[in-house]
């Protein structure tokens, strides 16, 4: 859906990524044609006075001392007040926008090997597969339910590239399971790598385990009752947790679901998303004490989020200090509208028009 930006000339982006050449927990403008115009209600047309008439009457009254000029009435302050009101309107809209985590995109060195591991060891389903020979890459979508209602994984295989650098910034994906011990034994039987045996999480009571897939991506298994969204987390490390929380709340419209500080292990986490953790996929932001920067590597790509309006989304992101890397608009050749941006730590997110996304799945 959203295009992966290549890290090197030999690495092609995913079609869904733009479709055009487009231990502690540390681990080591919009175009003008799309902007809504300000319109005057027809019910007020009868009382409209031209700007020149209004200016002349006001200037005359000022000269006669009938009214005074105050700071609040100066054009500069009036413009500032208007801008502030517009900003508030946009940020309020973000909170009301219908948003959902659609999929997470990353690169793998052997697509068939990864599909086999995810389906046999993790119980995922191969939802669809797409080969783009002219661009020399293949996509595979896997998950625990259909894309129109579930958070899924989009794997990208670039022809001839069999290895990527995961870096130190990406943390892990989270999968909720009913019986963690049974799941771990199955993974071991299939030759999977278990890096942490089942047991309570550090500083908490939730039973977890960690495994690695064939490319080295870490998966945290969480023992949890039945859930509509088994693929439940994406963990990313950030350099300033308060800054990230503020950005994701305001620019992305996410809710801060909870935080947990673990001074013994020198890290703090913040869980953010568009609904409760037991029913929705969430973003886990991790701050390791004193660490402000991470190497992002070239393996992990981005998260895609649905929105009702990519133009307003881009505007809100800019207002909140985010960097828009792809201005909002339709992708070449198709009608799907997207916008891409970076958060304060440089993590990429692509917003996709909700209606266009459903049409594209058809």
**Which residues are catalytically annotated?**
220
User: Which residues lie across from 220 on neighbouring strands?
Assistant: 174, 210
**Cα(235)–Cα(342) distance, integer angstroms:** 16
Could you give the C-alpha distances from 260 to 87, 120, 202, in angstroms and in order? 32, 33, 11
182 with 138: CB under 8 angstroms? no
**Cα(240)–Cα(37) distance, integer angstroms:** 38
Radius of gyration of the chain (CA): 25
- Residues contacting 341, CB < 8 A, separation 6+: 314, 317, 322, 323, 324, 325, 326, 348, 349, 350, 351
Phi, psi at 349, each rounded to 5° = -135, 140
What angle do helix axes 310-319 and 75-96 make, rounded to 10 degrees?
120
Strand-by-strand arrangement of the 267-273 sheet = 193-200, 207-212, 218-223, 170-177, 231-237, 282-288, 267-273, 255-262
352 with 361: CB under 8 angstroms? no
């Amino acid at each position: 859906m959203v295009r992966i930006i290549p890290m090197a000339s030999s690495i092609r982006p995913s079609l869904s990524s733009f479709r055009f050449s487009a231990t502690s927990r540390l681990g080591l403008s919009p175009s003008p044609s799309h902007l809504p115009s300000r319109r005057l209600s027809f019910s007020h047309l009868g009382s409209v006075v031209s700007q020149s008439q209004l200016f002349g009457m006001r200037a005359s009254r000022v000269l006669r001392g009938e009214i005074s000029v105050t700071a609040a009435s100066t054009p500069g302050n009036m413009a500032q007040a208007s801008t502030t009101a517009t900003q508030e309107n946009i940020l309020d809209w973000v909170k009301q926008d219908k948003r959902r985590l659609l999929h997470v995109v990353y690169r793998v060195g052997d697509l068939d090997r990864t599909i086999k591991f995810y389906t046999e060891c993790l119980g995922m389903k191969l939802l669809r597969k797409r080969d783009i020979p002219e661009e020399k890459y293949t996509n595979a979508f896997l998950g625990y339910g259909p894309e129109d209602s579930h958070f899924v994984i989009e794997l990208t295989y670039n022809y001839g590239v069999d290895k990527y650098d995961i870096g130190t910034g990406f943390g892990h994906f989270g999968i909720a399971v009913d019986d963690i011990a049974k799941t771990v034994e199955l993974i071991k039987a299939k030759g999977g790598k278990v890096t942490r045996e089942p047991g309570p999480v550090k500083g908490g009571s939730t039973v977890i385990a960690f495994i690695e897939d064939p490319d080295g991506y870490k998966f945290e298994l969480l023992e949890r009752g039945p859930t509509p969204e088994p693929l439940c987390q994406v963990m990313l490390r950030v350099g300033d947790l308060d800054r990230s929380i503020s950005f994701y709340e305001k620019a992305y419209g996410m809710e801060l679901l909870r935080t947990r500080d673990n001074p013994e292990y020198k890290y703090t986490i913040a869980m953010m998303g568009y609904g409760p953790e037991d029913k929705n996929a969430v973003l886990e932001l991790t701050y390791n004490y004193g660490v402000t920067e991470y190497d992002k590597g070239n393996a992990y790509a981005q998260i895609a989020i649905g929105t009702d309006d990519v133009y307003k989304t881009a505007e809100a992101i800019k207002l909140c200090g985010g960097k828009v890397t792809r201005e909002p608009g339709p992708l070449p050749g198709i009608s799907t509208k997207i916008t891409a941006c970076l958060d304060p730590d440089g993590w990429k997110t692509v917003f996709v028009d909700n209606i266009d996304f459903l049409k594209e799945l058809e």
